[in-house]
Amino acid sequence: MHHIGTQTIKTDRLILRRLTMDDLNDKYEWTGSSENSKFIMKEPHHNIAEAKSELQQEVDSYIHDDFYMWGIVYHGELIGYICGNEINEEIKSICIGYCIKKAYWNQNITTEATKAVIDYFFDIGFNRVFSYHNPLNPASGKVMLKSGMTFEGRIKGGSMLAGEICDCLQYSIVRSEWKKYHN
C-alpha cells in the first residue's frame, strides 16, 4: 500500500483540501453544535479552545502519509469535513466518515464529497471502502447508498458513536464494483 496522504480534490461544486488553523471558526460551527455533532462526537465542544486543540492535532497529523482528512469547501466556505480512518493494510480497506453544517444538509454535497474520496482511495490502491452510521441517522445511510456502497448489515454493539456503544449499519464498496462504474 502506497499512502500519499491528503491531497486536494476538486469536484463540480467542491474543493476538498487540508484543514488549516485559519479554519478554526468554521470548524467550531459544526463541532460546537449539538445537532451537527451528535452522531460523531461524545459531546459538542464547549468552547472554541476545545475546537482549536482538535484542529491543531489534525493539522499536525498531515505529516503522516496515512492521514486522510479533508475540509469540504462549497462556494468558498468551509462547511464540514470528510476523512478516511480505520485503515487495514492487510486487506487494503479504509473507513469514510463525514460531517457538514446543517444549513447544507439535503443538497447532495456530502454524497459528492464521498464519491470523490471513494475514487481517490481506489486510485491510490485501496481494495475496500466502507462506512457505517448510527441507525438513528438514516440520512447518512442514504449518502452511502448514493455514493455506490451497498448495505452489508447491522453490527450489534459494533460502534462507539457519540460516546455510547451502539449498533451500526455498515455499507461498503470494493474495487471490482467500483471499476464497473468507471469503465
The 10s digit of each residue's pLDDT in 41-96 is 566 777 889 889 989 999 999 999 999 999 999 999 999 999 999 999 999 999 99
Structure confidence by residue, pLDDT tens digits, 133-156? 989 889 999 999 999 999 999 999
Per-residue cell: 57: 492535532
pLDDT at 128: 98
Pairing state between β 93-100 and 128-133:
parallel
Domains and CATH numbers, the chain: 9-131 (3.40.630.30)
* β-bridge mates for residue 178, sequence order: none
Rounded CA separation 87/169 (Å): 18
Rounded CA separation 37/42 (Å): 8
Residue with cell 449499519: 169
Name the residue with higher pLDDT: 38 or 22: 22
pLDDT(161) > 80: no
Rounded CA separation 80/117 (Å): 14
Rounded CA separation 29/69 (Å): 17
